[in-house]
Chain A
């Protein structure tokens, strides 16, 4: 069984769920944080024998490390419900606890996880714009400058960029989406590699010189941009063993 974990309103997750069935006979479950938090039983163990999990959902579905072979992780956090309960510190505590537990659960899962949690985020690398710009520069992109000041939080860039945004998907070293020059493809791959992202969305804009400049990246990109070619690669990736 494959899991697609997502947060409410994630159209890409549903698109992948519906599209993947054309490329696999493997059962697929689409789950939100709300589904997990309503589970009648949640159990996650770690220690000498490794890590395991067992989840009994309220609707009767049952998941465990023995029945799930792969996860497409687009889960941004626990249910936002907890954050709306601002009057109680207990609700904030529950949110933090659930976040920590999900990070451990998905990190320790022995099967395939596209995008496993990182130190900073539940879903792959979720970095601040300044950090993305810094890392993009290091892997060879021209970047749209990031400016921050306590005088005015963000100053507008002096450079003019085209309105057209180029959206590229990188899945385990393969590049999908808007066609871009080889040099840009290489930089996209390098950025995904340097941040440990199995799946990364990269956004670029055209400079007056014609060059493409990095403007942003995300570990929860718009998947339909990759089309059927991407879906097929995603199915292949979810079927593949974990790289060691």
Chain B
């Protein structure tokens, strides 16, 4: 049995669900928005981990769940708890179900895409950069500072400089402009991350079960996810082949981070230097799959089904 967690209509989860149907694998979906109908109990004892997941009158032995695919959204922002006070019964039920499920997933003897503990390196981008550099990728020169003079000097040295969040909080990558420089005194409130701008072609590499799907992204935007708002034109995506060396490094990087599935952001410079910016542990792969036809959801489904040969 495969357990899928998230919002069923969300494109990546929907794509994996459809792919599991196509290969005939048996699965259940924990729909976060229906949390009130679910309950879970588990125990960690000398003999191992066991327990039960319940949906209304149906009961599932946790020992029978051989694989889990997670696309959790923050349960605090579910529409079903909107407007509820912090200690309301419904919000407590919501937290309780999500907490118990997340705790079980961390100790479950199952293949998990991906455990929260494995995803955690992404909550500090500069920390993750250090892990990335150990796998032979170049990383951009980076300065984290609350000193405007040091940031100005960094910009003078590298010419083009971008800034973004250091944490996992989603931020739009912007290039540091003259106008930004005029308000640099604001960084005294909180050290901020600046990086040399690296020119070249963005490549998103999805790694699943040792397989790599590489997509080149052509865009003039500093952050291609926001290409339309930054340049007025959508990014263009196409499938590309990685060299065996880069593919090997990507697979090894994902494995070392204990990620069964990862979205690795590379940039290949005009002189073929390969930089790695980030490893996304919960990538929204459907955007790339829809643009290129790469069978990523199918690979995820097969990988999930391979756990205990579930079909």
CB of B275 to closest CB in A, whole Å: 11
The closest CB in chain A to the CB of B102 belongs to A128
Are A96 and B191 neighbours in the complex by a CB distance under 8 Å?
Answer: no
CA distance A146 to B107 in the complex (A): 11
State how many angstroms separate the Cβ of A5 from the closest Cβ of chain B.
16
Lowest 5 CB-CB distances: which A-B pairs, in order? A104-B126, A47-B141, A149-B41, A100-B124, A100-B167
A134 to B107, CA, bound (A): 6
In contact, B145 and A44 (Cβ under 8 angstroms): yes
Which residues of the partner chain A approach B190 to less than 8 Å between Cβ atoms? 94, 97-98
| Structural contact, B103 and A99, CB atoms closer than 8 A | no
Contact (Cβ within 8 A) B191 A101: yes
Contact pick for B121, options A119, A130, A145, A147, CB 8 Å: A119
Nearest chain A residue, comparing its CB with the CB of B196: A47
B181 at the interface (CB under 8 A from A): no
A103: B residues at CB distance < 8 A: 123-124, 127
Q: Which residues of B contact A117 (CB under 8 A)?
A: 127
Of the listed residues A104, A105, A108, A151, the one surrounded by the most CB atoms of chain B closer than 10 A to its CB is: A104
Enumerate A128-172 residues with CB–CB distance to B below 8 Å: 128, 130-131, 133-134, 137, 142-143, 145-151, 153
Measured CB to CB, the closest approach of chain B to A142, in angstroms, equals 6
Whether the pair B143, A151 counts as a contact (CB closer than 8 A) is no
B residues near A (Cβ < 8 Å) are 38-46, 48-49, 93, 96-97, 99-100, 103-104, 106-107, 117-118, 120-121, 123-127, 129-130, 138-147, 150, 165-169, 189-193, 196, 257
Q: Tell whether, in the assembled complex, residue B121 and residue A43 are in contact, meaning their CB atoms are under 8 Å apart.
A: no
A143 to B43, CA, bound (A): 11
Do B106 and A101 touch (CB < 8 A)? no
A43 and B139 contact, CB distance less than 8 A = no
B46: which of A96, A142, A150 is its contact (CB, 8 Å)? A142
Interface contact A46-B129, CB-CB below 8 Å: yes
A-B contact pairs, 5 of them (CB 8 A): A43-B143, A45-B142, A46-B139, A101-B126, A128-B103
Please tell me if the beta carbons of A145 and B141 are within 8 angstroms of each other in the complex: no
A130 to B167, CA, bound (A): 26
Q: Kindly list chain B residues whose C-beta atoms are within 8 Å of the C-beta of A97.
A: 165-167, 169, 190-192
Q: Given that A104-B127, A148-B100 are known contacts, is A44 also in contact with B144, CB under 8 Å in the complex?
A: yes
B142 touches A46 (CB 8 A): yes
Q: Is A237 an interface residue (CB 8 A)?
A: no
Q: Which residue of B lies closest to A141 (CB)?
A: B46
Question: A137 to chain B: which residues have CB within 8 Å?
Answer: 44-46, 48
In addition to A42-B191, A117-B127, A145-B46, 18 A-B residue pairs with Cβ atoms within 8 Å of each other are A43-B145, A43-B150, A44-B191, A47-B142, A51-B130, A96-B168, A97-B165, A97-B191, A98-B190, A100-B127, A100-B165, A101-B126, A101-B144, A108-B130, A131-B103, A134-B106, A146-B43, A148-B100
Nearest opposing residue in chain B for A89, CB measure: B169
Chain A, residue nearest B98 (CB)? A150
Quick check: A128 and B169 within 8 Å, CB to CB?
Answer: no
Complex formed: what's the CA distance from A133 to B124 in Å? 27
Tier of interface size on chain A: 35 or more
Q: Is A60 an interface residue (CB 8 A)?
A: no
Q: Which residues of B contact A186 (CB under 8 A)?
A: none
Q: Report the tally of A-B residue pairs with Cβ distances under 8 A.
A: 159
**Taking the nearest CB of chain B, how far is it from the CB of A42, in angstroms?**
5
Q: Is A8 an interface residue (CB 8 A)?
A: no
B96 neighbours in A (Cβ, 8 Å): 150, 153
Which of chain B's residues has its CB closest to A36's CB?
A: B191
Between B104, B190, B193, B257, the greatest number of chain A beta carbons within 10 A of the residue's beta carbon is seen for B190
A41, CB-defined interface residue at 8 Å: yes
Which B residues are CB-close (under 8 A) to A45? 141-144
Residues of chain B with a CB closer than 8 A to A101's CB: 124, 126, 144, 166, 191, 193
Given A96-B169, A134-B107, does the pair A46, B43 have CB atoms closer than 8 Å? no
Bound complex: CA A48 to CA B48 (Å): 45
Instruction: Give chain A residues whose Cβ lies under 8 Å from the Cβ of B40.
Output: 149-150
- The CA of A105 and the CA of B166, in the complex, are separated in Å by 12
Asked if A145 and B191 make an inter-chain contact with CB atoms under 8 angstroms apart, the answer reads: no
Distance between Cα atoms of A39 and B191 in the complex (Å) = 10
Q: Which residues of B contact A120 (CB under 8 A)?
A: 117, 120
Structural contact, B168 and A143, CB atoms closer than 8 A: no
Bound Cα distance A119, B168 (Å) = 12
A residues 203-219 near B (Cβ < 8 Å) are: none
Q: Is there an interface contact between B147 and A43, defined as CB atoms closer than 8 Å?
A: yes
Please, how many angstroms separate the alpha-carbon atoms of A120 and B147 in the complex? 29
For B54, the closest partner residue in chain A by CB is: A150
Contacts of A148 in B (CB 8 A): 41-43, 99-100, 103-104
For B145, the chain A residues whose CB sits under 8 A away are 41-44
